[in-house]
Structure 1
């Protein structure tokens, strides 16, 4: 019989720090403790939480329980020949890299931070710079162990139970608590990247370059200046690359080609004055960033951490936005909807959105997850200070444009989408709701996101 967990009531918020709520925090150290916590859930329910990198309210549960899964961090088995790992859901991608890179393996998909748990990666069905080649994270999951709202644990595979598997992939933790997963990895020969960088004069130039040559690269991403207007609208720095082969390394680096020692700076200031990241300061940063980027540079060697996770080197970087926090807005529209993308970029520029973290990527084939975000087309993600005047009506307007174009917003980053727009974005929403009702009729698994969007 597991020892009852002692809850601690505390404020819980997403990475954007915009909507903190208070919940009872539980930290199970065993599967049995997780089962006991789900079975003991009251009318406000419970939700699993990893390292808290969902930007909005996906891992919050006001008045209920939140399961901090980070103590479940065991690696159970590694097949170093076939590149397969089985581990607890609380293991971070950072930890996987520490363990796997010396063996010549890398995670198949990583977002812009490696401080994401395996459970979170499945729940958000994360994507990265390689979606046009590799798809999203759950495509590489062979099996998962899922604790459902009835307190039962099930082994779920895409072959044997495709409905539950693909409802869980991208389901924001609402089909149950992922306890463990088996993942197919990607082989690498070094921990350096071969990177090509070029500047694009405007959005049309950028999209033309990506459309013509993205297929030559495993990884591709573009930084966009969202304050540029007129003929410069959408000007960008395009960065693309692949894992460097051993022969591309200088002799000194070949002595330890699989070394992984990411650098970390001191933590960001706890709080910066509100308004510091305004149009003027961000405009100066964007101008400097664009002007100092090379017009064209080929074959530069970069450390893996610098290429994939530059912000991870600055702990608590989310605090630079001040007390009000920030909203991350990410949407996707399909191929053939480039005019919608252009209209959104122009609207953001006209509003003067001071975002210095705006990135554009091309998605490949859509993923099978019922609420998975990626679909073939263009995805733009941007950070916006939450206190920006007129932000709420602006984003509501953009939601309508995106939905009308057959696109969608990313639930892992959302904190303010209206439920009436959601159905137009996710065509399998009713199927997801029905499965949840059958699987968890008492609502033991829930979250602030689920209540806000009636998921």
Structure 2
């Protein structure tokens, strides 16, 4: 019987499935007997994964968002230890006034530290800092057999590497320790550049990689012809002026989407109007300014429940990476297919991944170009487009991001993540997810090949 806890769902609100039960985890010293709970099990934080990697249909969800305590903070070394349910927003509230920042951050601060590890999140500085997992020093992992293991690059190393990017399948992370980045103040020196083509985007990437820590571009996914791939390129560094250290951060009241918008609200016409207006919102070619860190890193966090804009059917986010050697040609073809389809969204992000390697066995980022954009769920029409895009990614030797996925094929997953067999040795025999079962791999709670740890 389902508990009175809210039914966990993913940010894309598709698929809509229910677990059999939700078990809240409140205290690290009062943990439930995982062996006694009906399987399969899966930890759940704040549900910011877009597809079904955070869902566990007909299984047991371990609600970890109550594990929200800070355990230690070495302000000299920038080393923070906290429970796995602490959100990045709570981390920022603690560390930014003390002159520190997250080593890597995704596009939202409303994710848990445990989720950041399980999905090995990346950000605008991947070309400089790699993934979040590159900065994790250790964590404690609870296995279903009751063992509590400290995992680090030197202790239980194999399980450490399997858990980073391991989609929550190796057990329940109880706490984690990671290194922070020193900053002088909470402001960013930002430059926004209007560019007119995918070719110009590539030139801006090459120009920016060395001098700028953060780079990303908004791309008009409905532009075509000579304007294919046009958009606004954003790059920035942490401001170093002592004057801004004394300047208080502005506070804005958050907006909210209180109800599901009708499905017809987002269509080809409204998307084209939005993209054209956004592209022309900056009249000058280049604009430089100093901005607070929040609108630079988290522009959508100021709109609560923005996922409701896609209506009751939910939406898909499609994120792929294609290797450098074919990056321009493949990304050009991907953008052409999306433009011709008339689908896509006003939330399309294009950036370049660097070659900083993650310790995670299933980490998604790899050297190349990555595109992430939302698609309203229009049923078969949308799925047919994804099949076309999958073929291009597959042929290029690229990959899709499991944390954003709700419909990848199992054979593609094996191709995209060639270390999957090695990873399966460390999957906890009682942990699984809707995503993992959809991949048509051996259900993890029935495996006999799992390493006993």
TM-score w.r.t. length of structure 1:
0.93
Q: 1:281 aligns with which of 270, 275, 279?
A: 270
Contact map agreement 1:262 1:313 (CA 8 A) in 2: no
Per-residue CA distance 1:209-230 (angstroms, 9 max, x = gap): 1123222100000000010011
Q: Does 1:400 find its partner at 2:391?
A: yes
For residues 34 and 283 of structure 2, the distance between their equivalents in structure 1, rounded to whole angstroms, comes to: 53
Q: 1:213 aligns with which of 208, 211, 221?
A: 208
For residues 188 and 5 of structure 2, the distance between their equivalents in structure 1, rounded to whole angstroms, comes to: 44
Q: 1:321 aligns with which of 290, 310, 313?
A: 310
Q: Match of 1:157?
A: 152
Q: Does 1:353 find its partner at 2:343?
A: yes
Contact map agreement 2:42 2:168 (CA 8 A) in 1: yes
Q: Does 1:22 find its partner at 2:18?
A: yes
For residues 326 and 117 of structure 2, the distance between their equivalents in structure 1, rounded to whole angstroms, comes to: 28
Q: 1:377 aligns with which of 364, 368, 382?
A: 368
For residues 69 and 309 of structure 2, the distance between their equivalents in structure 1, rounded to whole angstroms, comes to: 33
Structure 2 unaligned spans of 5+ = 442-453
Contact map agreement 1:264 1:314 (CA 8 A) in 2: no
Per-residue CA distance 1:6-41 (angstroms, 9 max, x = gap): 94476432100011111111111112444x252323
Mapping 1:226-245, distance limit 5 Å? 226-245=221-240
SS at 2:234's partner residue?
strand
For residues 30 and 88 of structure 1, the distance between their equivalents in structure 2, rounded to whole angstroms, comes to: 10
Q: 2:8 aligns with which of 9, 12, 34?
A: 12
Aligned CA distance change for structure 1 residues 168 and 270 (closer, same or farther; 3 Å): same
Contact map agreement 1:8 1:26 (CA 8 A) in 2: no
SS at 2:11's partner residue?
coil
For residues 237 and 274 of structure 1, the distance between their equivalents in structure 2, rounded to whole angstroms, comes to: 28
Q: Match of 1:341?
A: 331
Q: Does 1:39 find its partner at 2:29?
A: no
Per-residue CA distance 1:429-450 (angstroms, 9 max, x = gap): 11111232xxx3xx31111111
Aligned CA distance change for structure 1 residues 149 and 260 (closer, same or farther; 3 Å): farther
For residues 198 and 311 of structure 1, the distance between their equivalents in structure 2, rounded to whole angstroms, comes to: 20
Per-residue CA distance 1:249-306 (angstroms, 9 max, x = gap): 5xxx5534xx556534232131111120111111101001101124433530111110
SS at 1:71's partner residue?
coil
SS at 1:275's partner residue?
helix
Give the drift of 1:388.
5.9
Per-residue CA distance 1:388-423 (angstroms, 9 max, x = gap): 651112112211221221110000010110101111
Q: 2:125 aligns with which of 130, 135, 145?
A: 130
Number of equivalent positions: 438
For residues 431 and 218 of structure 1, the distance between their equivalents in structure 2, rounded to whole angstroms, comes to: 33
Q: Match of 2:447?
A: none
Contact map agreement 2:184 2:245 (CA 8 A) in 1: no
Contact map agreement 2:150 2:156 (CA 8 A) in 1: no
Q: Match of 1:117?
A: 112
Contact map agreement 2:84 2:176 (CA 8 A) in 1: yes
SS at 1:76's partner residue?
strand
For residues 266 and 72 of structure 1, the distance between their equivalents in structure 2, rounded to whole angstroms, comes to: 28
Contact map agreement 2:53 2:434 (CA 8 A) in 1: yes
Contact map agreement 1:198 1:238 (CA 8 A) in 2: yes
Q: 2:162 aligns with which of 163, 167, 170?
A: 167
Q: Match of 2:445?
A: none
For residues 135 and 275 of structure 1, the distance between their equivalents in structure 2, rounded to whole angstroms, comes to: 39
RMSD: 1.7
